[in-house]
Structure 1
Amino acid sequence: MIDLHCHILPGVDDGSPDMETSLGLAKVAVEQGITHMLLTPHHMDGEYLNHKADVITKTKAFQEALDQNNIQLTVFPGQEVHITGELIQAIERDDILFADENNRYLMLELPHNEVPEYTSKMLFTLQARGITPVLVHPERNQGFMQNPDQLYEFVAQGCLTQLTASSYVGVFGTHVQEFTEQIINAGMGFIFASDAHNFKGRNFKMAQAFEKLEKNKGERFAEVYKENAKSIINGDDVVFGEIHHIHDIKRKRLWELF
């Protein structure tokens, strides 16, 4: 299993504070069935700056510590890049880490409380450069919750989404859990990732999420989510299925009651 979003690189953001904690979290990840992990510290979010060169160096040191402690986890350097007007300049300065070596997929974070007005234009600019934005945890974005059609528009124009495993199993409450389920049922979900920060609350929950997904949507559906994560980190094509507006899914379910 591949985890494309986590905060267990030690001492760089609001995730793991030190190497001891990071090694402990890595053991939990392995117990969950995770074999490969993209380390994605916050970058350019107004609080944290984790420059490309620094993340590469720290990831190498973390991999060495994992190997020395016989923890069977392979880690790759990445960033959870916050959307900002400076993003294109940062890409041109070669200060952005993509999810893959081909610079095709970008793990992109929007503010939790809104979808900025310039988002559509920024996404278009990225895609014009051959970059596919992977919108991280859209199920926790208040803007998407209030207007799911915005998420539909972004996916329809070629963006991907990364749903948080913990959201799907109820860690962030019923409202977030239900919205996650709606995104999945509408065909607008592509992968699960942990967004793990710590041992309590913000943990991995990947095994639980895939168990639920397989039960609700079938083994093949769950397998596609795993294959998509592998495709992203390899820079390969991702499986795009049929997508629907969330309100259409709700309406269909209501009709099926009668």
Structure 2
Amino acid sequence: MSQNLVDLHCHILPGIDDGAKNLDVSMALLNKEIQDGVAGIVFTPHFHYERISVEDFAAKRKAAFLKVAKAARENGLSLAAKMGAEVYFTTALPSLDLSVLAFAKSNYILIEFPTTCHPAGIDETLYGVRQRGYTPILAHVERYPFVAEDPTLLYNWVSEGCLAQINASGLLREGRTAHWLQKLLDWNLVHLLCTDAHSMDPRPPNLAAGYSKLPSSIARRLRRNGIEVYLGNDLVPPEPTKPKYRFGHWV
């Protein structure tokens, strides 16, 4: 796996969330991942505490996972895979069974914030998760307006032990989003690149294309980080730089 790519955030399991609608779509997505050089995947369907219990979610996820695993074997697809979740933010998170929601056989847990507001209780909740022995991975941090308005929020979370993930699509759009992601990378506030794939169109697997937009040194670091997280190893990222606001811009 050392020379391959790992996707730690995708919605490829069929019929469990707003990702793949059926097994055929799942297989098309998996084939595209493999074509891109992906050797390991963590399936991360959405989990909303207010909508489903952890137990019911785990049962649905397992059923979908077994369908995909069986189809992959029958089609001769060679791919390492684990179950995980993209956990929608809730202040109840530290009290949940995090072993079910974390990436299998690891202490990493993918957490998504709302994109429409800055929720209260983030600092306390992330602290509670870390106190339970888990490392939060903050999903697609480029999508949160409150982080764009004040990236020192992200700096604080990373400084306290969280990891940050971005979507490859943000790099491929170029323009403002790609420019912003480059700043986050320069500040060492990004650790992982993933697809967040939902469908073949408009949200396809695109990890190889995303990596091609990065400087080689950063691409190597993020690729290595992805492998370490997949394997459940501890990650020691470089020290982040605190963004400063000068003359109307974050630098």
The reply to whether TM is greater than 0.5 is yes
Q: Contact 2:93/2:129 (CA < 8 Å) preserved in 1?
A: no
Paired residue for 2:123, among 110, 120, 125? 120
**Structure 1 unaligned runs (5+)?**
none
Q: Contact 2:91/2:122 (CA < 8 Å) preserved in 1?
A: no
**Percentage of pairs with the same residue:** 26
Q: Structure 2: which amino acid aligns with 1:186?
A: W
Partner of 2:17: 13
Residue 248 of structure 1 and its aligned partner are, at CA, apart by 6.8
Partner of 2:109: 106
Q: Contact 2:166/2:194 (CA < 8 Å) preserved in 1?
A: yes
Residue 176 of structure 1 and its aligned partner are, at CA, apart by 2.5
1: distance between equivalents of 2:132 and 2:95?
A: 13
Say if 1:251 and 1:186 are closer, same or farther in 2 by CA, change over 3 A: farther
Mapping of residues 136-147 of structure 1, within 5 Å: 136-147=139-150
1: distance between equivalents of 2:250 and 2:153?
A: 22
Q: Contact 2:12/2:19 (CA < 8 Å) preserved in 1?
A: yes
Partner of 2:191: 190
Say if 1:253 and 1:117 are closer, same or farther in 2 by CA, change over 3 A: closer
Partner of 1:211: 212
Any idea what SS the aligned residue of 1:38 has? strand
Mapping of residues 9-158 of structure 1, within 5 Å: 9-44=13-48, 51-91=57-97, 96-102=100-106, 104-158=107-161
Q: Structure 2: which amino acid aligns with 1:60?
A: L
Aligned residues: 245
Q: Contact 1:63/1:74 (CA < 8 Å) preserved in 2?
A: no
Q: Contact 2:155/2:242 (CA < 8 Å) preserved in 1?
A: yes
Most deviating of 37-46 and 14-23: 37-46
2: distance between equivalents of 1:197 and 1:61?
A: 17
Any idea what SS the aligned residue of 2:244 has? helix
Partner of 1:242: 239
**Structure 2 unaligned runs (5+)?**
none
2: distance between equivalents of 1:120 and 1:18?
A: 37
Q: Structure 1: which amino acid aligns with 2:122?
A: T
Q: Structure 1: which amino acid aligns with 2:211?
A: F
Residue 42 of structure 1 and its aligned partner are, at CA, apart by 0.3
2: distance between equivalents of 1:244 and 1:82?
A: 27
Residue 36 of structure 1 and its aligned partner are, at CA, apart by 1.0
Residue 245 of structure 1 and its aligned partner are, at CA, apart by 2.5
Residue 205 of structure 1 and its aligned partner are, at CA, apart by 1.6
Q: Structure 2: which amino acid aligns with 1:226?
A: R
Q: Contact 1:81/1:109 (CA < 8 Å) preserved in 2?
A: yes
Any idea what SS the aligned residue of 1:10 has? coil
Q: Root-mean-square deviation (CA), in Å?
A: 2.4
Is structure 2 residue 164 aligned with structure 1 residue 161? yes
Most deviating of 150-159 and 109-118: 109-118
User: When the two structures are superposed, what TM-score results if normalisation uses the length of structure 2?
Assistant: 0.89
Any idea what SS the aligned residue of 2:210 has? helix
Any idea what SS the aligned residue of 1:154 has? helix
Question: Could you report, residue by residue, the CA deviation over 1:39-90 in whole angstroms, capped at 9, with x for unpaired residues?
Answer: 0000016567661233133212211111101222222111101111232332
Q: Structure 1: which amino acid aligns with 2:135?
A: T
Any idea what SS the aligned residue of 2:158 has? helix
Say if 1:239 and 1:88 are closer, same or farther in 2 by CA, change over 3 A: closer
